[in-house]
Structure 1
Amino acid sequence: MKALILSGGKGTRLRPLTHTGAKQLVPVANKPILWYGIESIVAAGITDIGIIISPETGEEVKSKTGNGERFGANITYILQDKPAGLAHAVKIARPFLDSAPFVMYLGDNLIQNELGEFLNNFKTQNMDALILLRPVPNPTAFGVAEVDEQGRVLHLVEKPKVPPSNLALVGIYFFANSIQSAIDRIQPSARGELEITDAIQNLIDHQKHVEARQIMGWWLDTGKKDDLLEANQIILDAYLKSANAGEVDAQSQLSGRVEIGSGSKLINCTVRGPVTIGEDCHLENCFIGPYSSIADQVTLIDVDLEHSVVLQSAKVIGIHQRIVDSVIGQRAYVHTAPQRPKALRFLIGDDSQIAVV
């Protein structure tokens, strides 16, 4: 059994952050989204992993993620020259996949459920494909499945105007090698891409064994700012443990679960968890409220912040109005001018400079 993780795409919904980096490397609780998928796959016992990368961000994905040793896996990188669809990604991965069954995992997805139970179902019942589904309130925005009472998939449709159900396809699929023949039989969609939903529908049309399982825990597609903040909140709630490897002076107060990395210094700060603070940060005269993640080498001085994500090497100085529901990119510099507004809300890309006037 192998795994194929998709880490290409342009990340248009998270711009401007993704003008300069891969959306799958945007951190949730100070860990790249992509790494959660790798860890989930390895926990299911799959260690031979291919990662689809794009020309724009592939080198960054490779340099940060490495050869898989840190995860106990072996990672092979596969270049997709253009975003020609999920089924196209499977097609170009054939030399890596060979004839092996595989799990395909979209690299900007997070799910609560472990993969082991689904993998066992897929193997023991000799399926051609197993798809994961989740009820959603807005099925017109997703690929949607119609399923019978036995869990067999009857029909798939991509972003339907009139959905046959409210069951959206989660970005995780289990495939036998028969998916390759199905991909060879389909044509590009109206948007010029080889759609994986068309390939799965082709399996169904050829009487292949295609089933679905509903996931019961949370599912997060981290493609937009609010999704990213929600994912950050859920991960901090579920997994954060208190740990302090930094320096906290006597005037600072920590309450709740707070994680502080080595080399970080807190001077006259109040931090109310869950909050994670990376390594080599400097925080002075700050209030850091719940559900905030502060990456490595960040400087915060005279800042009141909560429910926000601050990326590596950003600086925020002298902002006395509370910053909430914000994502501040790598190396961004935010500071105040003499006249100050009453409220602030940001989505700030990497290398930005913001003067609040």
Structure 2
Amino acid sequence: MKGLILSGGKGTRLRPITHTSAKQLVPIANKPILFYAVEAIVAAGIDEIGIITGDTGAEVEAAVGDGSRFGARVTYIAQDAPRGLAHAVLCAREFLAGEPFVMYLGDNLIRHGIVPIVEGFTETQPDALILLARVPEPQHFGVAELIEGKVVRLVEKPAKPTSDLALVGVYLFNHTVFEAIDAIDYSARGELEITDAIQRMIDTGRRVDPHLIVEPHQALVATWKDTGRLEDMLEANRIVLDDLAPRMEGTIGEGVRMHGKVIVERGAQLTNCTVRGPAIIGENTVIDDAYIGPYTSIYYGCTVRNAELEHSIVLENSVIENVEGKIESSLIGKECLIGRSPLRPRAYKLMVGDHSRVELR
């Protein structure tokens, strides 16, 4: 079995961050989202992985490399434009070479991995296995309709969903998926839809099995997140931080108070601050005279001084200093500088890019 990770797309819902960076490389708990996909596939015993790339292919390749750090062999496959998930599968036809494969969307997070899912597919050998999860807003996803446990219909982003079962960003197929893709047309939005391909498999008698993912004994706890929106990325960060064990590798100076699960990575320096976990402080980051609240991830090379931060993600080499009030539920990009000007009269002075969102309170 092979693995296929989709790491193209423009990430329009995360602009302006994705104007300059691949959305799959935005860190969750200080690790790029894409790495979780690679690790999940390798943990399932699959070490030959193809990664579909688009405009940010060079950045993705630089981050992942040849795959050896993950125990895998990675092949990069260019997709000339985002023409749909089924089109991405067609791009990988030569790489897949007729073998069964797991397709994993690189901006998705499956909390406990896919080991039992891959094992089940191997044992029962359906033509396709689709993962489903109940969601409050199914109109944003591909939606499945089931009758007596069997998949009967799939619709991509329906205006009026007849089910709350969304397709999770992991699919398992054998070679018959190519027959289905070859038989479908581009959708009204100009894409070859994987939902249309799977529907074709159902209509032609192929066996498509559903797998509903839920958290054992905790139905309200998220097991899967599509991190295409800010609020979902922050929720994914919360999920991962909840599962991490505390670790101290940095320098803890005077006046530091820590509560709950906190990770302080190598080279980080903390002084005169309070950190309430779950939280992670990245390598060579300085936290001084600050408050870091729960569910916060601060990447490497940052400085947070005389500021308060909670339920947020800060990317590398950013500086937050002398900020009145608490910054919360925020995603702060690379090499940003956030601070208060000493000049009076006080005013907000902003340079805001396209598609940005700024809330002033």
- TM-score, L = length of structure 1: 0.93
Conserved? CA contact 2:40–2:115, under 8 Å: no
- For 1:163, which of 148, 153, 161 is the aligned residue? 161
**Aligned counterpart in structure 1 of residue 270 of structure 2, from 240, 244, 266:** 266
Structure 2 residue identity aligned to 1:15: R
CA distance in 1, matches of 2:112, 2:144: 20
**Residue 70 (structure 2) pairs with residue 71 (structure 1):** yes
Q: CA deviation at 1:170?
A: 0.5
User: Is the CA contact (8 Å cut-off) linking 1:113 and 1:215 kept in structure 2?
Assistant: no
After superposition, the C-alpha distances for 1:215-258 in whole angstroms (9 at most, x for unaligned) are 013110111111111111111011x2222111111221222111
Cα distance in 1, alignment partners of residues 33 and 52 from structure 2? 15
- Counterpart of 1:243 (choices 213, 222, 247) is 247
CA contact (8 A) 1:113 1:216 kept: no
The question of whether the paired residues in 1 share the 8 Å contact of 2:111 and 2:239 is answered with no
Give the direction of change, closer, same or farther, for the CA distance of 1:340–1:186 in structure 2 (3 Å limit).
farther
Q: 2 CA distance for matches of 1:270 and 1:153? A: 51
Q: 1:340 to 1:16 in 2, by over 3 A?
A: farther
Is 1:27 matched up with 2:32?
no
Q: Which residue is 1:105 aligned to?
A: 104
Contact residue 251 and residue 267 of structure 1 kept, 8 A:
yes
What is the Cα deviation at residue 340 of structure 1? 10
Tell me, in whole angstroms, the C-alpha distance in 2 between the residues paired with 1:138 and 1:243.
37
Q: Which residue of 2 aligns with 1:289?
A: 293
C-alpha displacement at 1:163, in angstroms? 2.0
8 Å contact 2:111–2:240 — kept in the other structure?
no
Task: State the distance in 1 between where 2:325 and 2:63 align.
Answer: 35
Q: Quick one: distance in 2 between partners of 1:124 and 1:15?
A: 42
Distance in 1 (alpha carbons) for counterparts of 2:123 and 2:272: 58
Alignment partner of 2:324: what SS? Answer: strand
Query: Is 2:44 the counterpart of 1:39?
Result: no
User: C-alpha offsets along residues 80-116 of structure 1, whole Å, 9 cap, x if unaligned?
Assistant: 1100110000001011101100000001111124322
> 332, 337, 350: which one pairs with 1:328?
332
Secondary structure of the residue aligned to 1:82 is coil
SS at match of 1:198: helix
For 2:112 and 2:80, how far apart are their aligned partners in 1? 32
1:189 to 2:198 alignment: no
Q: Which secondary structure does the structure 2 equivalent of 1:320 belong to? A: coil
Q: 1 CA distance for matches of 2:116 and 2:345?
A: 54
Mapped pair 1:298 → 2:292: no
Question: What amino acid is aligned across from residue 234 of structure 2 in structure 1?
Answer: L
Q: Could you say what secondary structure the match of 1:319 adopts?
A: coil
Q: TM-score, normalised by structure 2?
A: 0.92
User: What does residue range 138-149 of structure 1 map to in structure 2 within 5 Å?
Assistant: 138-149=137-148
Q: Take 1:138 and 1:288, find their aligned partners in 2: how far apart are those partners?
A: 32
Give 5+ residue unaligned stretches, structure 1.
Answer: none
